[in-house]
Amino acid sequence: MVALFFKCLLGAFAVLLIALLSKSKSFYISGLVPLFPTFALIAHYIVGTERTMADLRMTALFGLYSLIPYAAYLIAVYYFSYKYELVWTLSLAALVWVFFACLLLMGWTKFSPALS
């Protein structure tokens, strides 16, 4: 229960930091905060302790490829922000992320050598 509370505090701290940075002169830095690898560290620790180092490497490699849907999302936000209001921009960009994430998962399951 204490660990769960600590994770909630970390999340609240991240949201607070994003909110404060978004109001500052360097507002663009608020886009960097969510990219701190909090969940990746947790995932890599769990995979590293419960599976092999080869599985950890595979997880890290998949993490690199997972940057593709995120990049597609950011490109979509940039592009759609010229054409739509905020809610439509973010909604469409999220759909772009889902589309590219599905493509990634289909491609990974089909072409990953360790899964064949």
Is 80 exceeded by the pLDDT of residue 114?
no
Cβ(17)–Cβ(33) below 8 Å: yes
Q: Can you spell out the DSSP letters for 11-79?
A: HHHHHHHHHHHHTSTTGGGGGTGGGS-HHHHHHHHHHHHHS-HHHHHHHHHHHHHTHHHHHHHHHHHHH
Average pLDDT, the chain: 91
Is 80 exceeded by the pLDDT of residue 116?
no
Is 60 exceeded by the pLDDT of residue 109?
yes
Average pLDDT in the 31-44 region?
Answer: 86
Q: Where are the domains of the chain?
A: 53-116
Position 7 scores a pLDDT of: 76
Is 70 exceeded by the pLDDT of residue 115?
no
- Confidence class for position 33, pLDDT limits 50, 70, 90: confident
